[in-house]
Amino acid sequence: MQFAKDRLRYLFGSTKGLILVAIAMIAMETALFGMLSGPMAEYGVRDVVVRALNIDLVQAEREGRIIILYHSIAMAVVAIEVTMITSMLKMKESYKLGVRALITTGYLMAMVFGMGFAYWGHNWALHGLYIAGLTLIFFAGVLLVIALWPWSREVTQVDSAYARTRKGVDLERTAFFAAALTTVISAMFGAVAGANFGNGFTVVLAENIIRYPEKTTMEYSVIGHLHIMLALIAIMITLIIGHWLDFKGLLHKIAMPLMILGTIVLNVGVWGVVTPLEPIAHMVIYVGATPSMLAALMLVIFGWDKLIRGGVAGIRRPGLWRKLGALVRDPLRFGPLWQMVFMNFTVSGIGIFMAVRLDEIFRVWPAREERIELTGHWHVLSAIIATIILLYYGDMIGLKGKLRQLYGWAIIIASDIAFAAVTVFEMKRLFVAEATQQPLVNTVILLMDFGLGILLVVLALVMVWRLLDLFRKQGRWTAEAEHELSSEVA
């Protein structure tokens, strides 16, 4: 009994345990449900899985299943970020416990009951429990906003190296607060639309209606919600990585106000799509995205500079190669920042290119081609966020030496090959005709499968290792049980 108690206390009572559980849940869900679409369906794997697990794939419910699948994975990612924040930032212990209890119960309920409802027949009790799970996550968000309140004396920033106001208000904490607050509001934005469509037992996928000149307010809400939630998850992980890397100095002082401004303006732009502001909403979104991305760029500059300086310390007049060597010496610290840069080639760059040449290029193609670009680039963004979390997690669990190198570079290289292949697949019509595309498609699909496959194998190995570790009396988990991320600033 004590055996189980100790493990459960670690898994559900400690920061690293909670993160491990959430990563494991995502890994299992991704591995299982990834077999139901794309190449896995092509190879016939889906049919085997469906039969073996008695999954109920009603054709008209496909879009609904996908929406619940996205939400359940996203909730676990949000839970990981929230757990990290509660471990990194100063807050009352009661708030920390409350937030974690709510969000952990919430995302587990949302995942288990949501997927049960979506894939194993429409049992409405499961749907109710799924919604209850989402509701708990929402309340966790509200509590987190309260816990992050930046204007109380206890959390005043006393160190002048960090961004702060004249009165000592911690601007990094304010950025976290702004992201958390707008996340809660944006969640409501989706909840209203979700309730509207759900009550009529219908769904809508944004990518399927993007060309319609007239959209209902609820359809706009869905489009706005999915974009802003993903953007906020990205903003939050940027802040988390910044905190981990001890982002400070002049760049920090410029970046944090930019991040706060960007977060607020971005949200106002997205909320604006359901108001008379709609005609200029896109412009407001661009205006909001720019400072946020600039803030991320400053983090990258700071982080890479720090890695280089640390790596060449003690060397007189280090050359370019030495500096480069220092930069990439530790893939777990270089990786998250590199992925943020790589994101510009596979997500932001594509998005901007599409926006600029929409009518000349993309709207000349059939809608189903445009859909590939739309879904492709936000899948890549989601996956990039996941790799950043995994890279940070590798550091968190204390990977060292060759294992650290192998884990880090496998994630960076494999994922980037896959993301680059996805990007080529999205844009293939620019350089290959439909009738002659198959060899190119085969190659990029192979690279995608290879990259994502390696990523999943690495993740599986880590999960198996962590599982086996739990059976050891003095396993790594015993040491991790008391660790807090606030004390592990890089």
Partner 1 sequence: MMRHIGTLLLLGVLLAACAPVDLDAAIPAYDTGVDTEAWATISAGEFLSGQFSDRAAIDYDYEIMVTDVTVAQVVHFLNAALQDGTLRAVDGRIVGFYPGDPFHDARHEVEIVAGDYDIVPLDDPASRFGFDGTTFTAKAGYENHPATNVTWFGAWTYCGAHDWRLPSEMEWEKAARGTDGRPFPWGDEIARNNANYYASRDPFEDMGSVGSRTNPVGFYNGRTYGAYATLDSASPYGLYDMAGNVWQWTGDIYEGMHYRFMRGGSKDTYEMDLRVWVRNNATPTYFSPGVGFRCARNP
Task: List interacting residues with partner 1 (CB under 8 A).
Answer: 41-42, 59-60, 62-63, 200-202, 208, 211-214, 358-359, 363-368, 433-444, 446-447
How far is residue 123 from each of residues 1, 135, 216, 225, 437, measured CA to CA in Å?
34, 19, 29, 26, 43
Q: Which is nearer to partner 1, 200 or 401 (CB)?
A: 200
Task: Give me 482's structure tokens.
Answer: 């008391």
* Minimal distance, residue 264 CB to partner 1, in Å: 26
Q: Which is nearer to partner 1, 50 or 191 (CB)?
A: 50
Q: Which is nearer to partner 1, 203 or 462 (CB)?
A: 203
Q: Which is nearer to partner 1, 1 or 433 (CB)?
A: 433
What one-character DSSP code corresponds to residue 178? Answer: H
Q: Which is nearer to partner 1, 94 or 202 (CB)?
A: 202
Q: Which is nearer to partner 1, 12 or 365 (CB)?
A: 365
Rounded distance, CA 64 to CA 26, Å? 19
Task: Return all residues near 285 (Cβ < 8 A) that are at least 6 apart.
Answer: 266, 269, 270
SS3 call for 49: helix
Q: Which is nearer to partner 1, 8 or 283 (CB)?
A: 283
SS3 call for 266: helix
* Minimal distance, residue 202 CB to partner 1, in Å: 5
Q: Are 186 and 232 in contact (CB under 8 A)?
A: yes
Long-range contacts of 407-412 (CB under 8 A, 24+ apart): 407/331, 407/332, 407/458, 407/462, 408/330, 408/331, 408/332, 408/334, 408/335, 409/331, 410/454, 410/455, 410/458, 411/331, 411/335, 411/387, 411/455, 411/458, 412/331, 412/335, 412/338, 412/339, 412/387
* Minimal distance, residue 57 CB to partner 1, in Å: 9
Strand boundaries in 48-186, DSSP class E: none
Task: Give me 18's structure tokens.
Answer: 């909670």
Angle, CA of 243, 247 and 250, to the nearest 5°: 145
* Minimal distance, residue 74 CB to partner 1, in Å: 22
Rounded distance, CA 35 to CA 486, Å? 38
* Minimal distance, residue 110 CB to partner 1, in Å: 24
* Minimal distance, residue 367 CB to partner 1, in Å: 5
* Minimal distance, residue 443 CB to partner 1, in Å: 4
Rounded distance, CA 230 to CA 233, Å? 5
**What is the Cα 58 distance to its own chain's centre?**
29
* Minimal distance, residue 361 CB to partner 1, in Å: 12
* Minimal distance, residue 408 CB to partner 1, in Å: 18
Q: Which is nearer to partner 1, 94 or 442 (CB)?
A: 442
Rounded distance, CA 377 to CA 380, Å? 5
SS3 call for 137: helix
What one-character DSSP code corresponds to residue 200? Answer: T
Rounded distance, CA 167 to CA 474, Å? 47
Residue labelled with tokens 């903003």: 235
What one-character DSSP code corresponds to residue 360? Answer: I
* Minimal distance, residue 37 CB to partner 1, in Å: 8
Q: Which is nearer to partner 1, 60 or 313 (CB)?
A: 60
Q: Which is nearer to partner 1, 151 or 365 (CB)?
A: 365
* Minimal distance, residue 211 CB to partner 1, in Å: 6
Element containing residue 426 per DSSP (H, E)? helix 401-426
Rounded distance, CA 400 to CA 236, Å? 27
Q: Which is nearer to partner 1, 270 or 390 (CB)?
A: 270
Q: Which is nearer to partner 1, 154 or 360 (CB)?
A: 360
* Minimal distance, residue 325 CB to partner 1, in Å: 18
